[in-house]
């Protein structure tokens, strides 16, 4: 059996879309027929009932009742057909987004939530981890903001744990694409017009102290007063006694009125989260019924969904209570109910009781769901890129050896992969002409280490690496707001990198520096670069530096590599292949000349 490729994955998804579209066409025809059938039944039943009413009332009633029954059956059937249409359309959207991810078709990959990047993060901006056309944009299949946030946390964490990464590997080994897709489907079907669900409102509601101060004794007192009032009212109607029922009713009414201000906020808060509660039922119901028999790791992770306190029953109870409270929207019915019984107060009491119980359950459910969504993103990334590999983590020392390492955000047709074995006792120095690939290679090293640390597959045929902290200095820019220049910004960044390298830590640092000290003159750049490189050597870390200053390549403690260029038919060309040694050429003047700028003699 041949190994799957990205092309076969895409072909499989396209066949699935074609099958769904064919079924969808048939279902839409059924939907149209049911629309007309409902209209015809309504018009015929209404016409017969109205026409027969003056002459044969009984027959008119029979026609009306039969019409209502048939119309109700058609409505039920129509709702099921519409649900099938919505489900099929959502499946198509999910598969089309997967094809876009596999092809790096950025315009058709849903954007992740907008998180504010940290300028001080060791690598977020340099390695394009967040934002449009970023690593998170490519990976993030989450249906909730919390799932996206969890994935982002994994991609940006600087607190690394090899055992935790291996645990994620164990989860991913048990996750099937169908499981991941179904989680996304169930959540998105109930998200409505929202691109991603946000469960923060529910989390905040559960975490807040329960207000209202309604005790079970107080509810029992009001129920007792209601029963007493009804009994006294019945006796007053039967036996000639004074209307003392009015006294008990006034006491009941006064006590109820004293707690109205406390009760109404409790009910209003519940209305605010009812939409989120309805959105959870599909996903949580799927997880509590899923057979984890041959998946012990996932079974342990999802245990909160399959415990005695199942989400479906708990959320159903909560929805019933919130629906009961919503009768306030019908003023007449609400008034009658509260006159006969302590409806709102009892509802608020039951709500507070169940909310207290759920305060320990819902956070656990939401946490597992966010974890599953982040894992699903990693699993989908691996499924869509079967030629990628899971890195082998080395327990000790500093190791970085890879075959066919590429950048996952570069178009497949344009991507060039390189073999690389780093001498981790030395600093790797990259030289080469402008546009030859030095900066891209630094980002390639960094982004694959980020994927490794998150537990994902990497864009390589193989990768053996130690667990490294990552720190980069690539996209430095000046700041008008802070009032410092490009060079000073670079100095600050390099100082922060050196501090991270010298800070005691159980894990080594992997640093990436692009064109060191390029913001100053040649003489001071060489002096500063030499001193800085010597400061990097002998520490608990390793890394790569790119430069145009070929004089730096002769320093001790360096391992030299370069990227080459050549001029063919008057055009400057690059193959982006990594080669051993110092670059034998430079191309700045050639680029200037090709662009039509005046240049001096070489």
Residues contacting 444, CB < 8 A, separation 6+:
405, 406, 407, 418, 459
Q: For the chain, what is the largest distance between any 2 Cα atoms, rounded to a whole number of angstroms?
A: 123
509 by DSSP, 3-state: which? strand
Dist. CA 180–CA 289, nearest whole Å: 15
pLDDT of residue 186: 84
CB atoms within 10 A of CB 306: 15
Dist. CA 152–CA 595, nearest whole Å: 41
Closest-CA residue to 113 (of 66, 149, 85): 149
Closest-CA residue to 99 (of 142, 141, 133, 149): 141
Domain ranges of the chain: 6-170, 200-384, 392-594
- What H or E segment, with its residue span, contains residue 150? helix 145-156
Q: How much of the chain is in helix, strand and coil states, percent to nearest 5?
A: 60, 10, 30
pLDDT of residue 480: 45
> β-pairing, 571-580 with 418-421?
unpaired
pLDDT of residue 84: 93
Is 108 in contact with 97 (CB distance < 8 Å)?
A: yes
Dist. CA 50–CA 75, nearest whole Å: 22
Strands laid side by side in the 462-466 sheet:
392-394, 462-466, 400-405, 418-421
Q: Please identify every stretch of the chain with a pLDDT value under 70, giving residue numbers as ranges.
A: 1, 190-195, 209-213, 328-331, 334, 478-484, 519, 567, 569-571, 585-602
Q: What is the pLDDT of residues 542-599, one digit of tens each?
A: 999 998 888 888 888 889 999 987 767 666 778 899 999 988 766 665 666 666 666 6
Stated pTM of the model: 0.87
pLDDT of residue 26: 95
pLDDT of residue 96: 95
Q: 401 - beta bridge partners? A: 421, 464
Look up the CATH number of domain 392-594. 3.40.50.300
């Amino acid at each position: 059996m041949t190994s799957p490729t990205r092309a076969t994955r895409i072909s499989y998804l396209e066949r699935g879309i074609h099958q769904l579209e064919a079924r969808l066409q048939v279902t839409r025809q059924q939907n149209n027929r049911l629309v007309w059938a409902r209209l015809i039944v309504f018009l015929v039943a209404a016409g017969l009932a109205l026409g027969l009413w003056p002459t044969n009332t009984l027959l008119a009633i029979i026609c009306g009742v039969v019409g209502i029954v048939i119309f109700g059956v058609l409505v039920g059937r129509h709702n099921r057909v519409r649900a099938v249409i919505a489900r099929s359309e959502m499946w198509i959207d999910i598969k089309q987004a997967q094809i876009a991810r596999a092809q790096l078709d950025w315009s058709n990959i849903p954007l992740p939530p907008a998180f504010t990047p940290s300028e001080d993060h060791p690598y977020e901006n340099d390695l394009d981890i967040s934002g449009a056309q970023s690593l998170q944009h490519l990976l993030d299949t989450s249906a909730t903001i919390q799932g996206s946030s969890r994935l982002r946390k994994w991609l940006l964490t600087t607190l690394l744990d090899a055992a935790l990464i291996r645990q994620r590997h164990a989860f991913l080994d048990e996750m099937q694409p169908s499981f991941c897709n179904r989680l996304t489907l169930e959540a998105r079907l109930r998200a409505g017009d929202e691109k991603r669900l946000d469960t923060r409102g529910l989390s905040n509601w559960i975490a807040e102290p329960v207000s209202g101060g309604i005790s079970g004794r107080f509810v029992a007192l009001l129920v007792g007063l209601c029963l007493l009032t009804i009994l006294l009212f019945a006796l007053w109607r039967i036996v000639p006694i004074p209307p003392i029922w009015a006294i008990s009713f006034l006491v009941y009414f006064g006590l109820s009125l004293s707690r109205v201000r406390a009760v109404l906020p409790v009910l209003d808060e519940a209305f605010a989260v009812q939409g989120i509660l309805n959105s959870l039922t599909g996903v949580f119901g799927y997880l509590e019924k899923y057979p984890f028999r041959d998946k012990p790791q996932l079974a342990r992770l999802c245990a909160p969904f399959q415990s005695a306190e199942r989400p479906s029953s708990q959320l159903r109870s909560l929805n019933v209570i919130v629906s009961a409270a919503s009768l306030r929207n019908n003023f007449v019915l609400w008034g009658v109910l509260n006159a006969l019984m302590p409806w709102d107060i009892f509802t608020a009491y039951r709500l507070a009781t169940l909310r207290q119980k759920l305060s320990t359950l819902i956070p656990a459910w939401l946490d597992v769901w966010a974890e599953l969504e982040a894992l699903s993103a990693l699993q989908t990334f691996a499924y869509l890129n079967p030629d990628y590999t899971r890195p082998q983590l080395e327990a000790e020392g500093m190791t970085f050896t890879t075959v066919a390492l590429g950048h996952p955000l570069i178009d497949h047709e344009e991507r060039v992969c390189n073999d690389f074995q780093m001498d981790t006792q030395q600093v790797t120095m990259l030289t080469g002409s402008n546009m030859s690939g030095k900066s891209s290679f630094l980002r390639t090293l960094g982004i694959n280490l980020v994927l490794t640390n998150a537990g994902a597959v990497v864009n390589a045929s193989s990768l053996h690496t130690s667990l490294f902290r990552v720190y980069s200095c690539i996209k430095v820019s000046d700041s008008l707001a802070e009032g410092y220049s490009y060079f000073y910004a670079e100095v600050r960044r390099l100082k922060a990198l050196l501090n991270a390298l010298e800070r005691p830590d159980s894990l080594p640092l992997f640093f990436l520096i692009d064109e060191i000290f390029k913001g100053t003159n040649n003489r001071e750049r060489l002096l500063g670069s030499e001193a800085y490189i010597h400061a990097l050597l002998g520490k608990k870390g390793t890394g790569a530096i790119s430069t145009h200053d070929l004089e730096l390549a002769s320093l001790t403690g360096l391992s030299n590599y370069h990227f080459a260029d050549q001029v063919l038919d008057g055009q400057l060309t690059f193959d982006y292949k990594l080669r051993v040694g110092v670059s034998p050429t430079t191309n700045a003047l050639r680029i200037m000349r090709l662009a039509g700028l005046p240049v001096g003699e070489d």
